[in-house]
Amino acid sequence: MARFLISFVLLILFSIPTSLFAQTELIEAVATHYAQIHPGLESYRVHLKTNKIAEMLNRMTSSMPQDMPRPDAPELMKFWNRKSGTVVRSTNTTAYPYMQQMINRFSQRFAIDLGTLFLPIDGTAKRAKLLELATIKSTESQIADSKIQQFEILFKQPTDVAGAFYGISLDLPQRQIKKLTLDIDLEKMVLVHMGIEPAEGKSLAVEIRHLDVEGSTMPKEVSITTPDGSIDEHFVTTFKLIDGYQLPIRQERKIRRPGLEEMLLVDFSNYELVHGK
């Protein structure tokens, strides 16, 4: 149904209890595929602008006397390295170290790392341990022209997944998870749907669309919803070809949750790339 609204009919071909090794092997193959983002690129840095900086500065300085000098708006730069991951730093706030602390706190919302958004490769060992604590059902289905392998992961007791199946950038629940479902497109080797059922709170459906480029696949659109519609989030990345690589030039995140409605915009410019040897 919501899975891209392509077909209302789900044809169940078969359901086979496979070995834990085989199940883990397929999940880790998808994790490896995501980790192969931008093959040949070792690292980059890029200037970053977001609509949230002015808002945060106003909150931080609201209690300061009117005649007291305000800090300059930070100039942000994102650093991405294949081995060490992503970090956001300010290039002009050395006089206000507390501002760098603020940037550190919020940087995950400024620059989401698409290669670690789902099934991060450094979570392999953690996932293996968590799967040992679960009962797993595996079902292959046909949805329109796509062959989908679904894993239903039912934990024997509510479990903290601690970033093993999805990163922290999208504010998905990590603690006390009862059940996860992972739908994998067997041809493209990507995750197209995820279901998250916490012990407390509402179940979440995560739908993922991808951009296929450079022999790798990157999430370009993510929707997060609850059955009652109380949570409705959309995260969209716009790409541009830069020096042979499709790189993000804008990320838009529209959030609607109980008590919260906001739009977060991040623009990227002036990429500097370092190619692998």
- Decide which of 234 and 90 is more confident: 234
Q: Which domain holds residue 154?
A: 35-60+82-272
How many Å apart are CA 246 and CA 210, to the nearest integer? 13
- Decide which of 103 and 204 is more confident: 204
Q: How many domains does the chain have?
A: 1
| pLDDT bucket at 108, cuts 50 / 70 / 90 | low
Query: E strands within the chain?
Result: 11-15, 41-50, 76-81, 85-90, 134-143, 146-159, 177-185, 190-198, 204-213, 216-225, 232-242, 245-257, 260-275
Q: For residue 20, what are its two tokens?
A: 């834990």
How many CA atoms within 13 Å lie on the side-chain side of 190? 22
With respect to residue 217, please indicate whether it lies within any of the assigned structural domains.
Answer: yes
With respect to residue 188, please indicate whether it lies within any of the assigned structural domains.
Answer: yes
Reference 274, options 112, 106, 109, 84; nearest CA is 84
| Lowest-confidence pick of 122-126, 214-218, 263-267 | 214-218
Cβ atoms of 220 and 207 within 8 Å: the answer is no
With respect to residue 226, please indicate whether it lies within any of the assigned structural domains.
Answer: yes
Q: Provide the pLDDT for residue 140.
A: 86
Q: For residue 247, what are its two tokens?
A: 């790189």
pLDDT digits (tens, 9 = 90+) for 158-188: 999 999 999 888 889 999 999 999 999 999 9
- Neighbouring-strand partners of residue 55: none
Buried b / exposed e along 145-155 (16+ C-beta atoms within 10 A): ebebbbbbbeb
Q: Provide the pLDDT for residue 136.
A: 93
With respect to residue 6, please indicate whether it lies within any of the assigned structural domains.
Answer: no
Q: Provide the pLDDT for residue 98.
A: 64
| pLDDT bucket at 237, cuts 50 / 70 / 90 | very high
Q: Is the pLDDT of residue 95 over 70?
A: no
With respect to residue 74, please indicate whether it lies within any of the assigned structural domains.
Answer: no
With respect to residue 255, please indicate whether it lies within any of the assigned structural domains.
Answer: yes
With respect to residue 114, please indicate whether it lies within any of the assigned structural domains.
Answer: yes
With respect to residue 277, please indicate whether it lies within any of the assigned structural domains.
Answer: no
| pLDDT bucket at 5, cuts 50 / 70 / 90 | very low
| Lowest-confidence pick of 93-97, 218-222, 272-276 | 93-97
